Amino acid sequence: MRGLLTRARHTARLRGMAKHFRVGYVNVLVGALVSSALFFGPFASPAAASGPTTNCQLTALNNPSTVGQPATFRFFAAARIPEDLPPSPSGVVTFFDGLGGGVLGAALLFPAVLKDNNSVDFTTSSLSLGDHTIYAILVGPSGPCPVTPSASQHVNPPPASPSSTGVGSSVNPSSYRQDVTFTATVARQGGGGVAGTVQFQADGAALDGPQNVDGSGHASVHTSSLAVGNHPVTAAFTSSNPNTLDSNGSLAGGQTVQRADTQTAVTSSLNPSELGQAVTFTVQVNAVAPGAGTPVGTVQFSDNGTDFGSPLNLDGSGQASIITADLTVGAHMISATYTPSGGSYNASSGSVSQTVQRARTTLIYDGSPSGDFHDPTVVSATLTRQYDASPIAGKSVHFTMASQSCDAVTSVAGQASCTITPQDPAGVYTVTAAFAGDAGSQPSSDTKAFTVTREQTSLQYTGDTVIANGGTMHASAVLREDDGSPAIAGRSVTFTLGSGAAAQSCTALTDSAGRAACDIAAVAQPLGPGSVQAVFAQDAYYLASSDSASTIVYAFPSRGAFAVGDASATPGAPVTFFGAQWGSNNSLSGGAAPNGFKGFATKPGNPPTCGASFTANPGNSGSPPTSVPSYMGTLVTSKVTKSGSDIVGTITRIVVVKTSSYGPSPGAGGTGTVVAVVC
């Protein structure tokens, strides 16, 4: 009965304590944590234990547990129950992870009425992977545990969760050589972060090395080296966390790489150009973005749609060039068509409008700068292209000089030459060479000074040189150009016989044969040698010229005439023109002369003429003059005959005899030398 009363009193006290405990839970918990920390500096030994608590135990209810999952521990306490104490242990139980380790948390151990034992459960999810020793410390009215209880807890890693890997492309389809980024997205089943690397592959070959997965589960790689076509692209995720499984993914449908479009541009080294001028056309083929790289293949050039040259390979920079000098005058659309090789690029074409103009030309006169009147003169000029000074062959060049002109065609050296004959008075003129131009060449011309000089002349005296004094001299001359032909007509020629005050002259114009002739009547000159001169004074066309000839002026005796035999009357030969032995001193081709002929013809004719005849008196041959001229006209006879008292002789020639001796009687006779022939 006494025990029951005592127990009842204790129960009432515990209920009051419990109420107080609940109200001040937080304060008690904090205080217990502080007290437990102070109490267990090291934990108390069993010998230090005191109070009603007689036994404490700590039990791991789910051992092992999993990282991140709840682990529950049960604290059990048993007590002696004196009559003045509550019936069971109570207070705050603090749980520690290891000796001196961190506080895991605390739990209230409430008094239990009518019980000698008491327990409380504590659950935590913060235990890390591995083995743990969990301690529990009781702080409360029932006093500490005599021995600090502990429990072993093994924390397993969480079970690995599957992952999924998806693959995406920044652009699909892409163009050849376009930079494409492949991105892998890795997700963990059930959520949570992932860590590790992703190895991308295209066509089974690695794209670069393993790529780290970032905090958002992404990894990327980029490439521009995929060939044209479809390429399987995969991503293999290798997890660096044991709670996440590896996974693989692939790009749906693969990566399609299409041919890159190209752009073809054509440029000209010279535009506009001139006919015959070499022009270099250069083509540049480039990939059109987003395609990239240097296109390979060939290009074919064409001119207004007609191919010229063979297909040309592009070089390492996508260029090719062709040189031509064969473009005609006019507009040309020069096109280049690109044909790819290797299947990585699409074909394209481009063009440039080329204008070909007529070639500019230079014509330089390089012919003679002067020419004589009426003499053929060569004029010439050289035709070249301005852009390279090359000769132009086969072109007609027209030359003009004063009133004359001629035409010539250029040779392979570009030179044209022809002949003009100046017909204008002496003076300075201009000569012009002109190229009129044609469909392929522009016109050009050149002008130079050209001097016409007087033509040289040749005057030849052709008139009388053996002249009868007192008679008529027939003067004549022929005027020609310096080369002997042609004759010059219409020019005045003056003839002068003798010199000084006694000179006699006449003037005449040349005829169409260049001959001028006039007479000097009643010649009055000293007997013997003299001269005659013919003079042409220059005019606007011809230079002056002159000619002279030696003359012999002779005279017949004052009456009658003397004769010599034809076989004896040779020029330079001494002759006997009068004397008793005339017949033996003169040889006649017609036979011997009669003895009665002494050399004097009383009637020779007036004047005596060649081919006529003479008569002579017999005996002393008439009555000869008392004197004879120093240069005497003398008859030449081939035959003298006598019939009765008449003596007749022929006049085959007439010569001039320079007399050396003379007497009017046959015994004295007369001699001299033949110095000239009259006829």
The model's pLDDT over 549-586, given as tens digits with 9 standing for 90+, comes to 999 999 999 999 999 999 989 999 999 999 999 999 99
Average pLDDT value for residue range 462-489: 92
User: Is it the case that residue 369 has pLDDT exceeding 90?
Assistant: yes
Structure confidence by residue, pLDDT tens digits, 426-456? 999 999 999 999 999 999 999 999 999 999 9
By the 8 A CB rule, do 83 and 11 touch? Answer: no
How many CB atoms neighbour CB 544 within 10 A?
13
Same domain, 402 and 474: no
What burial letters (b/e) apply to 603-622, b meaning 16+ CB within 10 Å? bbeeebeeeebbebbbebbb
Query: Which of 105, 128, 156 is the last residue before a domain boundary?
Result: 156
Query: Which of 258, 275, 300 is the last residue before a domain boundary?
Result: 258
Same domain, 18 and 143: yes
Structure confidence by residue, pLDDT tens digits, 225-278? 999 999 999 999 999 998 899 999 999 999 999 999 999 999 999 999 999 999
Q: Treating both helix axes as pointing N-terminal to C-terminal, what angle do 2-23 and 25-39 enclose, rounded to 10 degrees?
A: 100
Which amino acid makes up residue 502?
A
Q: Which of 238, 175, 174, 183 is nearest to 207 (CA)?
A: 183
Give how many domains the chain has, as a whole number. 6
Structure confidence by residue, pLDDT tens digits, 512-521? 999 999 999 9
d(C-alpha 129, C-alpha 666), whole Å: 192
Pick the range with the lowest mean pLDDT from 366-380, 425-439, 552-566, 613-627: 613-627
Confidence of residue 84 (pLDDT cuts 50, 70, 90): low
Q: Which of 584, 547, 556 is nearest to 669 (CA)?
A: 584
Same domain, 55 and 148: yes
Q: Is the pTM of this model over 0.75?
A: no
Same domain, 26 and 145: yes
Q: Does the CA dihedral 79-82-87-89 come out positive or negative?
A: negative
- Which CATH number belongs to the domain containing residue 497 in this structure? 2.60.40.1930
The boundaries of the domain holding residue 231 are 163-258
User: What is the β-pairing status of strands 640-643 and 600-601?
Assistant: unpaired
The C-alpha R_g of the chain, in whole angstroms, comes to: 78
The burial of 229, by beta-carbon neighbours within 10 Å (0-12 exposed, 13-18 middle, 19 or more buried), is given as middle
Same domain, 427 and 307: no
Instruction: Determine the pLDDT at residue 109.
Output: 77
d(C-alpha 579, C-alpha 568), whole Å: 15
- Which CATH number belongs to the domain containing residue 53 in this structure? 2.60.40.10
Same domain, 56 and 90: yes
Same domain, 10 and 113: yes
Same domain, 416 and 481: no
User: Is it the case that residue 5 has pLDDT exceeding 60?
Assistant: no
How many CB atoms neighbour CB 306 within 10 A?
8
Spacing of C-alpha 196 from chain mean position: 62
Same domain, 298 and 253: no
Query: Which of 156, 190, 222 is the last residue before a domain boundary?
Result: 156
Which of helix, strand or coil describes residue 22? helix
Instruction: Determine the pLDDT at residue 85.
Output: 53
Same domain, 208 and 298: no
Same domain, 445 and 330: no
Question: Which two structure tokens, joined as six digits, stand for 435?
Answer: 């190229």
Same domain, 22 and 104: yes
